[in-house]
A and B are shown apart, each in its own frame.
Chain A
């Protein structure tokens, strides 16, 4: 009797100990709100096909980082999958299951090279792209198609007015559209905006200028003072300081302010994340008048800083197999999420399946920008956020005062970054 009890207890203990090995009914996915809407249709289909429920834990943007950090520090996690911004990949790499088996040749062939490069940290496949964004060029179709504007532009610059494809055309168009429309002697329409609070647009121009990387090269050397960085900084600040083709107060203009100015009809062009194409407010003065073009090109061609989000499987997950199953399913059925308000995907096939549909005219410029050879992600180092906060953004804001010596600013930023990396 005693031995039977002992056997029963042992069997129970074994069952409990082996608990995580049993198939899970539910997996928990940590995600921010936009990401939930993209993955929900995929999850519903996944549940139908596999019987595994997907429970989304939706938090604000910063909450994803804060919650994961806290759970990794504690050594336990409630999450089986986390959808994370690419800028956190390096920090979380040590706490993520390798996903090498999921990166089959078919999967790799269907993703832009820049997205694949950002999937790996120190040679390990850490995250599977779930959706990818990039800044493209938004422009006012009504202005660019206006015969009077076209004639005036051609008379002034000697070539046809078209959505800008390179630096020169962009600078010309920005200067041209900075106009005093009500005759009060001050511009009411600016060519574009210049961002001081977010440095990604300047970083994109660094790549367009031919730099092998942004701020750091692939070996981790600080290259923020190389010729391409300086050339890009000169071009970036010229729009504001030399051409006066963007509103003053650029130091604190961020993406939200840039969007507001464009939607209020204050700017003729805006470099912005592609998803905004389908989110233009109906009551905006520019509603129905917005065109999309690929990001502008410099000496190295078109280039942008991608904004992808990746699904990672935390090492602390209790249901790793099911989690990996979901991650693989999500990329295989990537197009299911495109109908969501954010309207983004990661795979080429998903984008291609929508690019000819009305309302998705921005997909071709987005794919072209993402696939451009010079497009490259931000360096995947754990100190990236600190580098941006402490060196890059303050440097850019100083440059946008139009009073600073640009080479000196870059040199000082280099010293700060080297201090952070030590």
Chain B
């Protein structure tokens, strides 16, 4: 048997799986986006052409939801990255002694997002939430009702990202920690001999060498944060007054709660395309031909 045919044979199960479980649903999604389809009566389809896309692209609600998705993703990702890198540097400095610290730090990863969402909802909700009681006890705020984390339209989008940051900072820390372990010690020693202090060694040596790892974190966590649904839904259901509504939530509501499969499919298709483009750009930026990493 020729080698190429053998290779194809070996790949066939995986290709079949991807075809059935990934390609077919995506094609179905794209196909539905050109029709008016009701969830309960999928056999009744009315061709709309690009109408669903026009509705989506001209909807202020969806534009706002898209911008909020971006703001949520950038905010969550920024803090996950900052806290994660800081924790990874701490673990690295502690060396083998950090084994237990890493284990404890990874515990939030084991918590289901729904549980985390409920937990944080009751931590944050004013009058009842422990966080406001703590802040009031420390005299940071005047009384437990002073900050309405989930009720204030100006801050709710950032408040609902707290559980996301809490859940996944440990993931970022562990990945970056693994990246730090792979940096050759002789490079760091050479920098030290050249007189670089700890900050310079981090900025000029470690950070550039961590670039591929950070890119992976940015792609994986960025896409993950952009499609966050359960964490926010359980805390606010997108409220108050839509101010924590992100795109995935809009797609869910339109598809499942309102049964408008066509328009939800059009939104989801555009969302998918945007995610793919962002991932490709991030990939090229990190591993492009001109990069030596």
Contact = CB atoms under 8 A, between A and B. Distances in A.
Interface of A: 65-66, 69, 72-73, 91, 94-95, 186, 196-197, 247-253, 257, 260-261, 264, 266, 382-383, 385-386, 389, 393-394, 397-398, 401
- The binding surface of chain A is classed by DSSP as helix
B257 A389 contact: yes
B150 A261 contact: no
Given A73-B41, A266-B127, A389-B257, 14 more contacts: A69-B256, A73-B40, A91-B40, A248-B145, A249-B125, A253-B125, A257-B127, A382-B259, A386-B257, A386-B258, A389-B237, A394-B240, A394-B241, A397-B239
A247 B257 contact: no
B128 A264 contact: yes
27 contacts: A69-B259, A73-B40, A186-B142, A197-B236, A197-B237, A197-B240, A247-B127, A248-B127, A248-B148, A248-B151, A249-B145, A251-B148, A251-B152, A251-B239, A251-B241, A252-B150, A252-B156, A257-B128, A260-B122, A260-B128, A261-B127, A261-B128, A266-B127, A382-B259, A389-B253, A394-B240, A397-B240
B258 A249 contact: no
Contacts of B142: 186
Interface string B171-195: 0000000000000000000000000
Nearest to B37: A73
A355 B237 CA distance: 37
A249 B146 CA distance: 9
B145 A251 contact: no
A196 B156 CA distance: 14
Interface residues of B, number: 29
B112 interface: no
B29 interface: no
A252 B240 contact: yes
Residue picked from A65, A95, A197, A398, most chain B C-beta under 10 Å: A197
Contacts of B237: 197, 389
Contact of B151 (A65, A73, A250, A398): A250
Given A73-B39, A250-B151, A66 B126 contact: no
Interface of B: 39-42, 122, 125-128, 142-143, 145, 148, 150-153, 156, 236-237, 239-242, 253, 256-259
A86 B240 CA distance: 25
A405 B240 CA distance: 17
Given A186-B143, A252-B236, A257-B125, A72 B40 contact: yes
A249 B151 contact: yes
B29 to A, nearest CB: 15
Contacts of B240: 196-197, 251-252, 394, 397
Contacts of A248: 126-127, 145, 148, 151
B62 to A, nearest CB: 12
B151 A253 contact: yes
Given A69-B40, A257-B125, A257-B127, A249 B148 contact: yes
A383 B41 CA distance: 15
Contacts of A260: 122, 128
Nearest to A190: B127
Contact of B127 (A72, A197, A249): A249
Specify which of A69, A72, A186, A249 lies most central, judged by the most chain B CB atoms within 10 Å of its CB: A249
Contacts of B41: 73
A260 B130 CA distance: 12
A196 B153 CA distance: 13
A57 to B, nearest CB: 19
Given A73-B41, A196-B151, A385-B258, A249 B242 contact: no
A126 to B, nearest CB: 14
A186 B41 CA distance: 56
B148 A252 contact: yes
Given A73-B41, A386-B258, A398 B143 contact: no
Given A386-B257, A386-B258, A389-B257, A252 B127 contact: no
Contacts of B151: 196, 248-253
A247 B126 contact: yes
A286 B259 CA distance: 43
A394 B242 contact: yes
B126 to A, nearest CB: 4
Taking each of B126, B151, B256, which has the highest tally of chain A beta carbons within 10 Å of its own beta carbon?
Answer: B151
Tell me which of A69, A95, A382, A389 has the highest count of chain B C-beta atoms within 10 A of its own C-beta: A389
A281 to B, nearest CB: 14
Contacts of A197: 236-237, 239-240
Contacts of B258: 383, 385-386
Contacts of B125: 249, 252-253, 257
Contacts of A383: 258
Contacts of A264: 128
Contact of B153 (A65, A247, A250, A251): A251
A33 to B, nearest CB: 15
A73 B241 contact: no
Nearest to B142: A186
A382 B259 CA distance: 10
Given A251-B239, A252-B240, A73 B42 contact: yes
A169 B157 CA distance: 38
A398 B259 contact: no
6 closest A-B pairs by beta carbon, nearest first, are A249-B148, A252-B151, A249-B151, A251-B240, A397-B240, A249-B126
